[in-house]
Structure 1
Amino acid sequence: MQSTDDNIVILGTGGTIAGTAADPHDNVGYRAAQVGVEALVAAVPQLAGLSLQTEQVAQVDSKDMTHEVWQALALRVDHHLHRSDVRGIVITHGTDTLEETAYFLQRVLAPTKPVVFAAAMRPASSLRPDGPQNLLDAVRVASEAGARGVVAVLAGEVHGAAEVRKAHTYRTDAFSSGDEGPLAYVEEGRLRVLRAWPEGEAFGTDGLTRAPSAWPRVEIVTSHAGSDGRWVAALAALGAQGVVVAASGNGSVHQQLEAELLKLQAAGIRVLRSTRCASGPVLTTGSAVLPSAGLLTPVKARVELMLQLMAAG
């Protein structure tokens, strides 16, 4: 699978892949982030003998992901990417916020080596856990010659950081790349690549040296029937520097909510329109008064806007 001269670093952050339940038949009533990354690796016999290094960066349920963990993870990933003896990096992570963390790392680092997320929809204690296969596939992808950028590997599918999103609450094939489709498939240990690996210009880690409490505050609001937007002004009072609106359809915003968002924009608070729809971009029209987030989902648009504000100082 790989040369012993090339190390794969596996960073643990917790999640369902590291979760346990008292009953092995229970795939939903578990506690996430209970098993250390070394134990996760040891549970996959096919990984024995490979040149792997493990490090526990965090141990959290990903629904409780914090900017502090993002900061620590980005700095550790950056450290290992600069090592000449490291071929690639695997990150074990929960599924709930995987798409946000993956997008954050891609935009901050734009790595020229592969950074591969492995996750699971069933806990490690399950009768049929999906984590071991996903971890094995992630190591395979991280070992691939020519691979680069941040991707996620689940249920044999490889998704790029810009497109990946959780699309189902329970199934083991819970992830999608929307209209773009998977970047590649892992088939019996072999990689079939369909599209180009993620690339882009990195924001860099300079802004991450600040305490996360000083990072720009960006919030998400939803446009829905009955929106009046009166409470949006409270976001500015609470220190929000940016707002993403999860709009309906092709970025359409309830007129009363839009009026309040325009007031924020006039006051210097950045606003982006994304969509509540599962797939498709927000196409800009001539009548648009709020900028589009393009293909970005609301949670990724929030990350993008936060990084833009951070870069602007």
Structure 2
Amino acid sequence: MKYIIFQFRNVLLTLLVVISIDVLGQTKPNILILATGGTIAGAAGSGVQSGYTSGQVTIDAMVNAVPDVLKVAKIKGEQISNVGSQDMSFDIMLKIAKRINEMANSNDVDGFVITHGTDTMEETAYFLNLVTKTDKPVVLVGSMRPSTAVSADGPLNLYNAIAVAGDPNAKGRGVVLVMNDWIHSAQSLTKVSTTAVQTFMSPLRGLIGVTSYGVNDFYRYPDQKFGNKSEFSVDGVTKLPRVDIIYADVDMPADLIDASVEHGAKGIVIAGVGNGNMPKAALEACARASKKGVIVVRSTRVATGTVGRNVECNDDELGLVASYNLNPQKSRILLSVALLKPRKLDEMQKIFIDY
């Protein structure tokens, strides 16, 4: 009975939204879509093959494939790039961030949607969470199947993303990702499967909410700094400092760390074993790097959990930073942004706690 009542509520809400939009067209939110490419814009030779080429379909074609979305929002699209997310770059990410900040105070935009490939989506989402200055919804969306596939997931994902971007209840929740009916925070999401449609999870903090055919249910607000509360800015920034990720394993060679320093890295993230650990020789190389002014962050290759400070190695003595809840790829994003200005080691550690 509870399930029937819940379903009836969802149907009723949907009808009310559609009726209010049809009768009062001015109530439709204005959504700016910034397209970057990815699988959602991909195409294959047939609907049942695994191989495809990313970034083949324009934003106009994607919107035209979901005509019902024009009932829930007024859409404007801009093609920022058209690449697979393996080719996402800081240049493109900066372009997205600056465009959002440019339009953040415009009365012509109520929310933003960024179409993006899934491989590096968590990095772009987290970057935008740190440097965009708006309480308006910023929603990333993608797909695991190309637009030409049988049962392509992109069209409904895009429909739901636009509905979330236009929802007043999405304001102030930071950058989110909408895929497969789930709403993730940029702080917590991570990709966990190479091929599964349900590829994104938020294992530490859980979902922000869920969406079903444009009807949204929000659970919580993120608890760390982001958006307008973030101290980071990309105004005038054209390039981010080099930060390398080095993967730890059994009998890890220390010379990889030394080579990173020699090639100009300003920061290094170690994807450590367990609680951000690494062999003694690697720890010694990290200490050498720290003495040369390179910020070294201990993260972990483990899927979930927190990397604590001074647990199995003496971070204070070695001059290292613990990543706490951030995985290696997000640690790299935060470190890259934080290094835009000089910071002491204790300041850098506090940043990893706060963000």
Distance in 2 (alpha carbons) for counterparts of 1:72 and 1:19: 22
Q: Bigger CA drift: 156-165 or 232-241?
A: 232-241
Choose from 234, 238, 243 the match for 1:211: 238
Matches within 5 A, 1:1-313: 1=17, 3-4=26-27, 6-26=29-49, 28-49=50-71, 50-148=73-171, 149-197=174-222, 200=226, 201-205=229-233, 207-212=234-239, 215-285=240-310, 287-289=313-315, 290-312=320-342
State the identity %.
35
Secondary structure in structure 2 of the residue aligned to 1:310 = coil
Larger fraction in helix: 2
Deviations along 1:112-171, one digit per CA (max 9) or x if unpaired, are 111000100000000110000100110111111131310000100000001111111111
Deviations along 1:161-197, one digit per CA (max 9) or x if unpaired, are 0111111111111001112121101124321111115
TM-score for the superposition, normalised by structure 1? 0.94
Secondary structure in structure 1 of the residue aligned to 2:152 = coil
8 Å CA contact 2:160–2:213 kept in 1: the answer is no
8 Å CA contact 1:122–1:131 kept in 2: the answer is yes
Distance in 2 (alpha carbons) for counterparts of 1:210 and 1:283: 32
8 Å CA contact 2:113–2:138 kept in 1: the answer is yes
Shift of 1:204: 4.5
8 Å CA contact 1:282–1:293 kept in 2: the answer is yes
Distance in 2 (alpha carbons) for counterparts of 1:208 and 1:18: 30
Q: Residues 308 and 76 from structure 1, CA distance in 2 versus in 1: closer, same or farther, beyond 3 angstroms? A: same
8 Å CA contact 1:19–1:30 kept in 2: the answer is yes
In structure 2, stretches of 5+ residues that fail to align are 1-16, 344-355
8 Å CA contact 1:147–1:197 kept in 2: the answer is no
Matched residues, number: 309
Q: Which has the higher contact order (CA 8 A, sep 6+)?
A: 1
8 Å CA contact 1:110–1:150 kept in 2: the answer is no
Shift of 1:208: 4.8
Distance in 1 (alpha carbons) for counterparts of 2:66 and 2:314: 52
Max radius of gyration: which structure? 2
Over the aligned positions, Cα root-mean-square deviation in angstroms equals 1.7
Secondary structure in structure 2 of the residue aligned to 1:209 = coil
TM-score for the superposition, normalised by structure 2? 0.83
Distance in 2 (alpha carbons) for counterparts of 1:166 and 1:44: 26
8 Å CA contact 2:156–2:213 kept in 1: the answer is no
The letter for the 1-side match of 2:237 is: R
Secondary structure in structure 2 of the residue aligned to 1:53 = strand
Secondary structure in structure 1 of the residue aligned to 2:339 = helix
Deviations along 1:25-58, one digit per CA (max 9) or x if unpaired, are 11x3000000001110110021124311111111
Q: Residues 23 and 5 from structure 1, CA distance in 2 versus in 1: closer, same or farther, beyond 3 angstroms? A: closer
